[in-house]
Structure formats: structure tokens, C-alpha cells
Amino acid sequence: MDKFLNFKKVSESETELYIYGDIRKKDWIDSWFGTGQDATDAFSLKDALSAVDTPNLTVRINSYGGSVSEGLAIYSLLSEFKGHLKTIVDGFACSAASVIFMAGQERVVPENGLLMIHNAWTETRGDSNKMKKVAEDLEKITQPSLNIYTSKTNLTEEEIKEKMDREEWITSKEAFEWGFSTTQTRKDDAMQSLEADFVYNLVIKNKELQKTIEEKTKEMAEKIIKEKTQGSLKEEPEGLANSLEQNQIKEGSWESFFNTKNKKR
């Protein structure tokens, strides 16, 4: 069994599956050089899943994601499990890994765990017709994940789409409030790496900064509207749009991280 795709029978009633690493199909390069030990693919999982003989299966996830097609296939395989399926985020469940997480009947994001959802993306080149076709294809490829999130959460499709558009990081509290998780737990054991802790703290700081900027921007807009209503302003103040724009945090999560330093100047 692969190092990062590991099944462990913990009792006569429960089996644990660990999905740690990339979600992708192994290729000839992996076969040739013996690489890809950190990858989870649907075909390997299918064979291992058929050997599970316990009524309960717990899937523990720590992955930055990967292939949309493999993620959807794994989601389908896990959804067909005949017993009780529980999914737990041991660190991150990003992108395709967050789709796999949604397969659980019981879903747990501990307080030090994070989900991340976004639209499908790719790299390509070609003329304008090619680019238009790729854009159309990506919207269709994104739709199944959007449908899964919508069917399992208490958010509308429009709300989910908005979060995917801006590459949303989701905390434990948000996951429970929005319905991504079904259970809240406190996790006292340190299962995350130093890198994961760093990124987790960065996400939290980014969310706090975004909230502060949104509040300040709203306060500024309300003040201007109030002054205009009272007649103290006869026309739109020059530079208002630029001022508001400068106070808006960039929506892309990773861009926001690297702009945090600039915002503090």
C-alpha cells in the first residue's frame, strides 16, 4: 500500500483511511523513477476500499488537493460505502481534497483545520478561440464540485460560487456555520506541520485584516453618504472611488497573504 494512501483496521468495527498528499493519477514517470508515493488516485483507492470489512470507515485528510477528475472519482467511491462514513480534516483539505471531504455522512473540521474551495484552473496556450473554449470548459468542470458543496451545505449556489471565485479559506467555525462540517471538535494534539501552522495563522490574520478593511470602507462610505444627504456635499468627492478601491483587500487568498505587509505601511 502507498505510504500516503494507507488503510488501517483499528478495531473490528472501524477502519481508518489516511489521504495525505496530492490527489492525482500516477503516470509513466512515477513508474519509471518510483516517484508518486505522495499521490492518491481513485484506482488505487478503489481496490483498497473493496477490502474494507468493517461497518465504519473514517477518512482522515491532509492534502492541498490536485486533479478535479480524481477528486470527483474518489468522492463517488467513498459515497458508495455501505457503512457509516466519517471524514476528518487533520490539517488542510484544499481544492479537490475538500470535495473528497464532503463525501462523509459525518464531517469534522477541528479548530486547527482548514478547508479551501476554488474554481477549476488549468494552463494552456492558443488563440482567442482556444482561450474562450478553455474558459467555457473550466466553468463546466467546476460545476460538479459546486453542486456537491451546494447539496451538502446550507449555502445557496450563488453564495458558494462567490466563495469559489475568490478562493475561499474556511475555518472550523465557518465550516460548521455554513454546513461544510457536521460536527465541531477541539483538537489538542499537534498534528499539523510547522508549514501548516504558519499558513493557518496567515489565513486567520488575512481574514481579520479583510474584516477590518471592509468595516473601515463601509464606515467611510456611510459617512460620505450622510454628508451628501445633509447637503454638505454638492457633488461626488474627487477620488472617492480610488480611495474605496485602495482600501479593498485583494480577493485572491494567496494574493492577500503577500499584500498583508503592504497594507500595514
Q: Are 239 and 231 in contact (CB under 8 A)?
A: no
Which of 188, 183, 185 lies closest to 86 in space, CA to CA? 183
Active site includes 253? no
In this structure, what C-alpha cell is assigned to residue 221? 462610505
In this structure, what C-alpha cell is assigned to residue 16? 481508518
Output 150-155 pairs: Cβ under 8 A, ≥24 positions apart. Answer: 152/102, 152/107, 152/179, 152/180, 153/178, 153/179, 153/180, 154/178, 154/179, 155/179
For strands 14-20 and 5-9, give the pairing: antiparallel
Output 257-260 pairs: Cβ under 8 A, ≥24 positions apart. Answer: 257/202, 257/206, 260/202, 260/205, 260/206, 260/209
Q: Are 4 and 19 in contact (CB under 8 A)?
A: yes
The amino acid at 146: L
Q: Are 204 and 174 in contact (CB under 8 A)?
A: no
Q: Are 4 and 40 in contact (CB under 8 A)?
A: yes
Catalytic residue among 63, 67, 98, 118: 118
Active site includes 95? yes
Catalytic residue among 63, 67, 95, 145: 95
Q: Which residues are catalytic?
A: 95, 118
